[in-house]
């Protein structure tokens, strides 16, 4: 037996201690999986298909060389706060809170607002981390099913708010994985009805004209959440929340110390100074969306749902599992939602890739569905 391999008795004891120690609800859930396949065309994670331009990469390398790695970072330096406000149109009156990706901010929101048993509510299916954050922090998760057409059921949502009085309502706009945008009048009705905080998660805002950011400082219970992951910076892990300063003041109390590291701070300063390059890449992805949706929708037995994000949700009459496996065998990764929720039966979520990646996807589906 290798000295690094636990023996059977040690493993058994460890497993028994895990059973006695780790929370039961944690043991019952699966870890968030990241899929990898060598040389694959990755259309499964809504990443940008485009890397940073070489001159921007060179500037980042220069900035990182100047980082004082022996010192703790200032995780919200005034210069970066000003850059984020200018780059993303954050109102001067709004408070700002930075997170290690928007996932961390979602957890902080639930942690700061919910005592055990308090309610987190969201239209469903939606971003899985809304539910996970609620569970991790002992809140009660209340999903409100979307309609059969995957649009918001406003009447059911308002009824659930009245019945459960949630501390937090999460509204993903566009919604992941369905791609839909909820009507502004519906969001206004939810803001008026909700007794606590309403978070509009705009992770995919770069691919639509719709935004609630101008209202971030002026609605008493609105927070606007964003991430830079979808516009080419998934590897940096940076998100931000804009809301009335009264909310930010309290949420900041549960922020882990030094949650934004010095390398990220140095890189962000450079990348935000070159934001037009990111905007141009996002515009290319957005421009490719209608043609890809039309091509997918023209394939037999395929239904494509309208999307305002950098992805498309498609339902395959041949079976989502079968199409997923056939694409994977051709080294093309998409996200399989077939078993995630009854409303998503036989559905795959497909990120919009580069022209070559989109062409490869369509060629593969042509073989699978037509040939």
Q: What is the pLDDT of residues 331-347, one digit of tens each?
A: 999 999 999 999 999 99
Res 4: pLDDT: 60
The single residue listed with the structure tokens 């999986």 is 33
Q: What is the mean pLDDT of residues 134-148?
A: 97
And the tokens for 128?
Answer: 């899985």
Q: Which residue has the tokens 């989109």?
A: 358
The stretch 29-56 carries a mean pLDDT of: 88
What is the residue whose two structure tokens read 């937090």? 168
pLDDT tens column, 167-202: 999 999 999 999 999 999 999 999 999 999 999 999
Q: At 3, is the pLDDT very low, low, confident or very high (cuts 50, 70, 90)?
A: low
pTM value surpassing 0.85: yes
Give the domain 22-52+277-369 fold. Answer: 3.90.1150
- Termini Cα distance of the chain: 52
Q: Looking at the predicted structure, is the pLDDT value of residue 1 above 50?
A: no
At residue 5 the predicted structure's pLDDT band, cuts being 50, 70 and 90, is low
CA dist., res. 158 & res. 251, Å (int): 26
- 284-332 confidence digits (pLDDT tens): 999 999 999 999 999 999 999 999 999 999 999 999 999 999 999 999 9
Q: Tell me the pLDDT tens digit for each residue of 228-243.
A: 999 999 999 999 999 9
Give me the percent of the chain exceeding a pLDDT of 70: 98
Q: Give alpha helix (H) positions in the chain.
A: 8-21, 24-28, 54-65, 78-88, 101-113, 128-136, 154-164, 184-193, 245-251, 262-273, 275-297, 320-329, 355-369
Domains in the chain: boundaries: 22-52+277-369, 60-273
Both tokens of 74, joined, read 């200032």
* CATH number attached to the domain at 60-273: 3.40.640.10
Cross-strand bridge partners of residue 223 = 199, 243
Residue 255: is its pLDDT beyond 50?
A: yes
């Amino acid at each position: 037996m290798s000295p690094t391999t636990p023996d059977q008795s040690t493993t058994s004891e460890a497993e028994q201690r895990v059973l006695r120690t780790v929370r039961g609800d944690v043991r019952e859930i699966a870890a968030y999986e990241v899929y990898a396949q060598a040389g694959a065309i990755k259309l499964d994670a809504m990443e940008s298909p485009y890397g940073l331009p070489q001159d921007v990469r060179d500037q980042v390398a220069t900035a990182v060389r100047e980082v004082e790695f022996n010192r703790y970072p200032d995780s919200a330096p005034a210069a970066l706060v000003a850059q984020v406000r200018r780059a993303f149109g954050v109102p001067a009156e709004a408070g700002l809170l930075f997170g290690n990706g928007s996932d961390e901010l979602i957890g902080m929101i639930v942690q700061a607002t919910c005592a055990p048993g308090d309610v987190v509510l969201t239209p469903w299916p939606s971003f899985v981390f809304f539910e996970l954050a609620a569970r991790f922090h002992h809140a009660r998760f209340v999903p409100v099913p979307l309609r059969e057409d995957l649009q918001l059921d406003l009447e059911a949502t308002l009824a659930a708010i009245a019945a459960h009085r949630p501390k937090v309502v999460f509204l993903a706009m566009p919604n992941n994985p369905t791609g839909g945008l909820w009507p502004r009048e519906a969001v206004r009705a939810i803001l008026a009805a909700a007794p606590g905080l309403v978070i509009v998660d705009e992770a995919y805002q770069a691919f639509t004209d719709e935004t609630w950011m101008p209202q971030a400082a002026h609605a008493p219970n609105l927070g606007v959440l964003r991430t830079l992951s979808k516009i080419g910076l998934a590897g940096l892990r940076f998100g931000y929340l804009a809301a009335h300063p009264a909310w930010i003041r309290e949420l900041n109390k549960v922020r882990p110390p030094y949650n934004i590291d010095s390398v990220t701070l140095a890189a962000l300063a450079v990348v935000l100074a070159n934001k037009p390059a990111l905007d141009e890449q996002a515009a290319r992805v957005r421009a490719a969306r209608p043609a890809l949706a039309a091509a997918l929708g023209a394939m037999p037995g395929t239904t494509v749902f309208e999307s305002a994000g950098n992805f498309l949700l498609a339902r395959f009459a041949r079976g989502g599992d079968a199409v997923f496996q056939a694409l994977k065998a051709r080294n093309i990764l998409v996200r399989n939602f077939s078993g995630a929720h009854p409303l998503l039966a036989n559905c795959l979520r497909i990120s919009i890739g580069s022209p070559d990646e989109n062409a490869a996807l369509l060629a593969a589906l042509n073989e699978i569905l037509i040939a």
